[in-house]
């Protein structure tokens, strides 16, 4: 029985396609989901996979224009008597020998990863097309606009890629297929011609996967800061992946080794010398996270009446408290005493007194929150993320510090869940750690306000008629004027300033 393969529907306005390039020849044996050719429309190029296993018979040649639904090729049944001879003569080896194929094909679709997420981007394949995978083994990583997720195999068998790295897939879209087998792949017997050594080398080479030499996001950032190429680091993680610990212990090669490595390239360098001031340009595809952040920030600017009010805070009282108690604090609680716990506690007290700053607009209604879920902006390897400290108003200083450390660590490793980044009522962002003296932060919708912290600079200040050198910080409160009036925003910021300049107030709630 033969399978007729026709041009699929590839878009609403597309009525015809052109056959680009055939990757298989007429009469070749093809496998299910193996890419046969490329189809070109007026908008994009598509890969055309085989819909069955068998002998390929090409009907449309390269350059032919075929309407949607038109015949492109036919795949004859590989097990028919007529086709048995060509198959026996075919020398193409199967990607992996199977112990026992069940005949079932498991289609894996993009799972639901969050209420507001409608699409994801396939970041990378950890397993290659044709690899043998086991149930629950991680085969790929997908990026949403909020987090990165690992995709586990839903069956044991041979993996067949459908989507490519960088493809944007809707929730429920087909990402790959697994040809289910009932056991591990059988070993390939050695050839009778005495080529066992090359075969062994080939099997060792084929055991490497995409993960071999691939750095995790956290490791990639560390290696980039050190100026070390991932190829120069031996990975100790799963399938040879470079872990954060590998990156932290990695060292630059010695100068002599670098000179020796560059010596063979001297002739090539002479042919293509590096010209100072060259005008090279490179393009990178925007990640889903970056596109979503861009879209939301522009929407906030266009849809809110955003204003910013400023004040300054004398940080000396807090710095004196930290110097006095930081060692005892860390010894007792196992975590350092930072500035963020003071700011979080001060903000929670002020939000209780000025509830409009902790509210949000929902249609024609204002939603007031009697709790304080404080979002903290964190710079992660793939972009800005904002994890949430739940019920911060009821937490102690050490609980807040521990939660910040936990969330920041997960952000750096791209392990934050959707639940950990949704539902905040107010946001803190600290541009001071990068040296910012003053800025106007943009509101994190649907919240109504955000507090920007900046760097601490010693400045001469007038205190009771005397000039003193004090560590000062500028604070910036951006707020939505549709819901927060000027009196409320200024009073809120003054209250935060009062609590920070006399932190003992936080202990007594005054």
Q: Please tell me whether residue 413 adopts helix, strand or coil conformation.
A: coil
Count the Cβ atoms, other than its own, within 10 Å of residue 218: 22
Rounded to an integer, what distance in angstroms lies between the CA atom of residue 405 and that of residue 278? 43
- Give me the helix-helix angle, 339-353 and 397-412, nearest 10°: 110
Residue 77 φ/ψ, nearest 5 degrees: -60, 125
Q: What is the distance, to the nearest Å, from the Cα of residue 227 to the centroid of all Cα atoms in its chain?
A: 22
* DSSP state letters, 234-294: ---SGGGPBPHHHHHH--PPPHHHHHHHHGGGHHHHHHSPPPTT-------PPPHHHHHHH
The answer to whether the beta carbons of residues 335 and 398 sit under 8 Å apart is yes
Structure tokens at 377: 């902006």
Cα–Cα distance for residue pair 412/407, rounded to 1 Å: 9
Instruction: Work out the burial of residue 233: count CB atoms within 10 Å of its CB; fewer than 13 is exposed, 13-18 middle, 19 or more buried.
Output: buried
Q: Please, which residues have CB within 8 angstroms of residue 117's CB and are 6 or more apart in sequence?
A: 144, 145, 146, 171, 418
Q: Are residues 367 and 360 in contact, defined by beta-carbon separation less than 8 angstroms?
A: yes
- Of the candidates 352, 331, 297, 354, the one whose C-alpha atom is nearest the C-alpha of residue 488 is 354
CA 144 – CA 111 distance, rounded (Å) = 11
User: Could you give the residue numbers annotated as active site?
Assistant: 481, 485
CA 411 to chain centre: 10
Residues 6 or more apart in contact with residue 157 via CB below 8 angstroms: 98, 101, 102, 106, 132, 133, 178, 179, 180, 181
Half-sphere exposure of 329 (CA within 13 A, CB side): 17
Q: Rounded CA gap, 413 and 426, in Å?
A: 24
Q: Could you give the CA distance from residue 123 to residue 289 in angstroms, rounded to a whole number?
A: 12
* CB neighbour list of residue 127: distance below 8 Å, 6 or more residues apart: 133, 137, 139, 140, 153, 159, 209, 210
For 417, residues 6+ apart whose C-beta sits below 8 A from its C-beta are 147
Q: Can you list the positions of beta strands (E) in 298-412? A: 306-314, 360-362, 365-367, 374-376, 378-380, 383-385, 388-389
């Amino acid at each position: 029985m033969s399978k007729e393969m026709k041009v699929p529907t590839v878009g609403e306005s597309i009525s015809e396609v052109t056959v680009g390039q055939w990757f298989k020849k007429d009469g070749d044996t093809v496998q299910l989901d193996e890419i046969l050719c490329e189809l070109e429309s007026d908008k994009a190029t598509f890969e055309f996979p085989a819909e069955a296993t068998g002998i390929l018979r090409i009907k449309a040649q390269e350059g032919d224009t075929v309407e949607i639904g038109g015949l492109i090729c036919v795949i004859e049944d590989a097990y028919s008597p007529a086709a048995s001879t060509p198959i026996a003569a075919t020398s193409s080896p199967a990607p992996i020998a199977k112990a026992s194929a069940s005949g079932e094909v498991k289609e894996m679709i993009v799972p639901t990863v969050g209420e507001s997420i409608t699409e994801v981007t396939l970041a990378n394949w950890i397993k290659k097309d044709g690899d043998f995978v086991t149930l629950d083994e991680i085969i790929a990583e997908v990026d949403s606009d909020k987090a990165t997720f690992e995709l586990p195999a839903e069956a044991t068998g041979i993996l067949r890629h459908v989507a490519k790295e960088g493809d944007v897939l809707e929730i429920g879209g087909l990402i790959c297929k697994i040809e289910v087998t009932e056991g591990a792949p059988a070993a390939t017997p050695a050839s009778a011609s005495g080529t066992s050594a090359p075969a062994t080398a080939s099997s060792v080479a084929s055991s490497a996967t995409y993960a071999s030499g691939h750095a995790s996001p956290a490791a990639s950032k560390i290696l980039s800061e050190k100026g070390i190429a991932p190829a120069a680091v031996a990975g100790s993680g799963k399938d040879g992946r470079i872990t954060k610990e590998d990156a932290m212990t990695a060292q630059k090669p010695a100068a002599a080794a670098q000179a020796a490595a560059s010596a063979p390239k001297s002739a090539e360098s002479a042919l293509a010398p590096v010209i100072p001031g060259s005008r090279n340009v490179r393009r990178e595809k925007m990640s889903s996270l970056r596109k979503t952040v861009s879209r939301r920030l522009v929407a906030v600017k266009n849809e809110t009446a955003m204003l910013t009010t400023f004040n300054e805070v004398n940080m000396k009282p807090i710095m004196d408290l930290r110097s006095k108690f930081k060692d005892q604090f860390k010894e007792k609680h196992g975590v350092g005493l930072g500035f963020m716990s003071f700011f979080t506690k001060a903000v929670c007290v002020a939000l209780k007194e000025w509830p409009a700053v902790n509210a949000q607009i929902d249609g024609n209604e204002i939603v007031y929150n009697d709790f304080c879920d404080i979002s903290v902006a964190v710079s992660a390897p793939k972009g800005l993320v904002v994890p949430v400290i739940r019920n911060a108003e009821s937490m102690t200083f050490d609980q807040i510090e521990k939660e910040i450390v936990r969330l920041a660590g997960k952000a750096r490793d791209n392990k934050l869940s959707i639940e950990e980044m949704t539902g905040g009522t107010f946001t803190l962002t600290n541009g001071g750690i990068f040296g910012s003296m003053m800025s106007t932060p943009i509101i994190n919708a649907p919240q109504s306000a955000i507090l920007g912290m900046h760097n601490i600079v010693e400045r001469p200040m007038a205190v009771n008629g005397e000039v003193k050198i004090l560590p000062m910080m500028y604070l910036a409160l951006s707020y939505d004027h549709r819901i927060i009036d000027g009196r409320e925003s200024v009073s809120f910021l003054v209250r935060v300033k009062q609590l920070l300049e006399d932190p003992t107030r936080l202990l007594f709630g005054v």
